[in-house]
C-alpha cells in the first residue's frame, strides 16, 4: 500500500510539472493513522473497518483533493465529517435512481462504507457479502460508471496505472505510450509494430481472452513472388507498408479487436471484401446522418481488412498505392484518412490500453 500511495504522489507531481496551466501543485496525504485512531473510528460507526481500507489508513489517514476535488476519507471523517455525510447522501441518491436496484450494491446502505468523496465521484467499500457482491469490493461511480474493483488496493492500483499511462502519453506524444519513447515517421518499423502487437496479444491472452480469437498469431508471411503475382494479375500496386506487412503476416485473424487482416488469397478472391463492402454501404445508406459514401467512390482501393465489430454492418478498411487508409463508409470523411502504418500504431495503442486496464484490476470486475 505504501508503494501505491508513493506512486500516486509521484504521478500527481509529474502531472503538475507537465501541465501547469491545467493542474495546480498537488496536495499530499496525511500521515498514517494509529491503531487508536482506527479503533476510535470503528467505535463511532459500531463495526470493524474493511481490512484493506484499514491498511490504506495506516499509510495515509485521508488525503484532501488527492485527485482534483476528490477526497480520500480518513479516520477523522468516518461517521462524522461533512465529507462523510456528503458521500452518504450521494450513495443514497444513486441507490434510489431507476426502478431496479443497482447491480452489486448492498440492499442495506449501512453496508456501503464511503472511502472517497466528491459528489458524483464518490466511492465506497461493500461491507457484507450479497447475491451479487462480495465484502471488500469497491464501487466507484465516478461519472455514473459504477465500476467495480476487488478491493481498495485494486481500486488504487487502477488509478495509478491510468494516471501513469495518461502522463506517459503526454510525455511521449502520439502513440508513445506502448513504446515508452517518441514515435517518429520511421521508428518503429512495420516489423517492430507487428512484433509489438504479437507481444501485447500474448500478454492479453490469459487476462482478456475476448481480445484473442482462436487461430494462428499471425499467419506466415507471403512470398515476394506471391505479392508480385497479386499485383500483376489484379492490376494492383501495393503500398510499401502494406507489402511489408503481408510479407510478415499473410492474413491475420484478429489483428485488432474484431478486425481481420485480409490475406493475399482473400484479396485476390475478393469475395469476403465485396460482401463486407456491400453490408457497410447498405448500413451507410440506412444511417442518413452519417453522410457516408461507398468505398468505390475512391480510385484504386485495395482491400486491407474487414471486421464484424458493428451491428449496423461490417467495418471495412481499404488502402491505396500510397498507403492511405480508407475507413468504413459509415463514417468516412476525407480528412479522416490515415495510413497503413498509422492504423497499425493505433491497433497497438488499443491493445496496450486494454492490457494496462486489465492488469490494473478491471479483470476483477464482477460479471454482469
Higher pLDDT residue, 184 or 357?
Answer: 184
The rounded distance, in Å, linking the Cα atoms of 74 and 114 is 10
Please calculate the CA angle 104-82-93 and round it to the nearest 5 degrees.
35
Contact 133, 366 (CB under 8 A): yes
pLDDT on residue 63: 97
The rounded distance, in Å, linking the Cα atoms of 164 and 3 is 14
Contact 327, 336 (CB under 8 A): yes
With a cut of 80, say whether residue 279 has pLDDT above it.
no
Nearest to 257 by CA among 206, 197, 338: 197
Nearest to 259 by CA among 268, 269, 272: 272
With a cut of 80, say whether residue 281 has pLDDT above it.
no
Which pTM does this prediction carry?
0.66
Beta strand ranges found along the chain (DSSP E): 63-67, 70-72, 112-117, 123-126, 138-140, 147-149, 252-256, 259-261, 302-307, 315-319, 324-326, 338-339
Cell of 342: 498509422
Higher pLDDT residue, 45 or 185?
Answer: 45
Question: Which domains are present in the chain?
Answer: 2-166 (3.40.1580.10), 173-357 (3.40.1580.10)
Average pLDDT over residues 16-22: 90
For 73-127, how does the pLDDT look when each residue is reduced to its tens digit (9 = 90+)?
A: 999 999 999 999 999 999 888 888 765 667 778 888 889 999 999 888 889 999 9
Q: Could you give phi then psi for residue 133, rounded to 5 degrees?
A: -155, 160
Nearest to 235 by CA among 279, 274, 262, 270: 270
pLDDT on residue 322: 85
Cell of 238: 501495393
Scanning the chain, the segments in alpha helix (DSSP H) are 2-18, 35-45, 51-59, 82-95, 152-172, 176-179, 190-204, 224-234, 240-248, 264-269, 271-286, 340-360
Eight-class DSSP state of 136: T
Burial (CB < 10 A; 0-12, 13-18, 19+), residue 171, is: middle
For 318-334, how does the pLDDT look when each residue is reduced to its tens digit (9 = 90+)?
A: 888 888 887 665 554 54
pLDDT on residue 313: 44
Mean of the per-residue pLDDT values for the chain? 84
For 216-275, how does the pLDDT look when each residue is reduced to its tens digit (9 = 90+)?
A: 689 999 999 999 999 999 888 999 999 999 999 999 988 887 789 999 999 999 888 888
The rounded distance, in Å, linking the Cα atoms of 167 and 172 is 9
Least confident of 32-36, 62-66, 105-109, 251-255: 105-109
Higher pLDDT residue, 162 or 262?
Answer: 262
Amino acid at each position: 500500500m505504501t508503494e501505491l500511495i508513493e506512486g500516486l504522489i509521484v504521478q500527481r507531481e509529474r502531472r503538475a510539472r507537465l501541465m501547469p496551466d491545467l493542474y495546480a501543485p498537488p496536495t499530499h496525504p496525511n500521515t498514517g493513522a494509529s491503531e487508536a485512531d482506527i479503533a476510535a473510528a470503528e467505535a463511532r460507526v459500531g463495526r470493524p473497518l474493511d481490512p484493506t481500507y484499514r491498511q490504506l489508513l495506516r499509510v495515509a489517514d485521508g488525503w484532501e483533493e488527492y485527485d482534483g476535488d476528490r477526497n480520500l476519507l480518513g479516520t477523522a471523517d468516518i461517521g462524522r465529517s461533512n465529507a462523510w455525510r456528503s458521500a452518504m447522501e450521494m450513495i443514497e441518491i444513486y441507490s434510489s435512481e431507476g426502478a431496479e436496484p443497482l447491480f452489486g450494491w448492498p440492499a442495506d446502505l449501512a453496508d456501503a462504507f464511503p472511502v472517497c468523496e466528491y459528489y458524483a465521484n464518490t466511492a465506497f467499500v461493500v461491507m457484507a457479502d450479497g447475491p451479487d457482491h462480495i465484502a471488500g469490493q469497491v464501487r466507484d461511480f465516478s461519472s455514473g460508471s459504477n465500476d467495480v474493483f476487488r478491493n481498495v488496493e485494486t481500486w488504487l492500483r487502477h488509478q495509478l496505472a491510468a494516471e501513469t499511462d495518461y502522463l506517459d502519453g503526454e510525455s511521449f506524444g502520439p502513440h508513445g505510450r506502448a513504446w515508452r519513447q517518441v514515435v517518429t515517421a520511421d521508428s518503429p518499423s512495420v516489423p517492430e509494430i507487428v512484433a509489438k502487437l504479437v507481444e501485447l496479444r500474448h500478454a492479453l491472452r490469459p487476462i482478456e481472452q475476448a481480445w484473442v480469437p482462436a487461430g494462428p498469431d499471425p499467419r506466415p508471411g507471403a512470398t515476394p513472388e506471391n505479392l508480385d503475382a497479386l499485383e500483376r494479375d489484379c492490376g494492383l500496386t501495393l503500398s510499401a507498408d502494406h507489402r511489408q506487412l503481408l510479407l510478415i503476416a499473410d492474413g491475420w485473424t484478429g489483428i485488432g479487436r474484431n478486425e481481420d487482416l485480409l490475406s493475399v488469397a482473400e484479396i485476390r478472391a475478393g469475395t469476403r471484401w465485396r460482401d463486407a463492402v456491400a453490408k457497410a454501404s447498405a448500413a451507410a445508406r440506412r444511417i442518413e446522418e452519417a453522410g457516408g459514401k461507398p468505398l468505390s467512390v475512391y480510385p484504386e482501393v485495395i482491400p486491407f481488412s474487414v471486421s464484424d465489430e458493428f451491428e449496423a454492418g461490417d467495418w471495412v478498411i481499404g488502402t491505396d498505392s500510397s498507403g492511405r487508409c480508407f475507413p468504413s463508409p459509415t463514417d468516412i470523411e476525407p480528412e479522416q484518412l490515415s495510413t497503413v502504418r498509422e492504423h497499425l500504431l493505433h491497433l497497438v495503442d488499443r491493445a496496450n490500453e486494454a492490457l494496462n486496464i486489465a492488469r490494473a484490476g478491471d479483470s476483477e470486475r464482477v460479471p454482469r
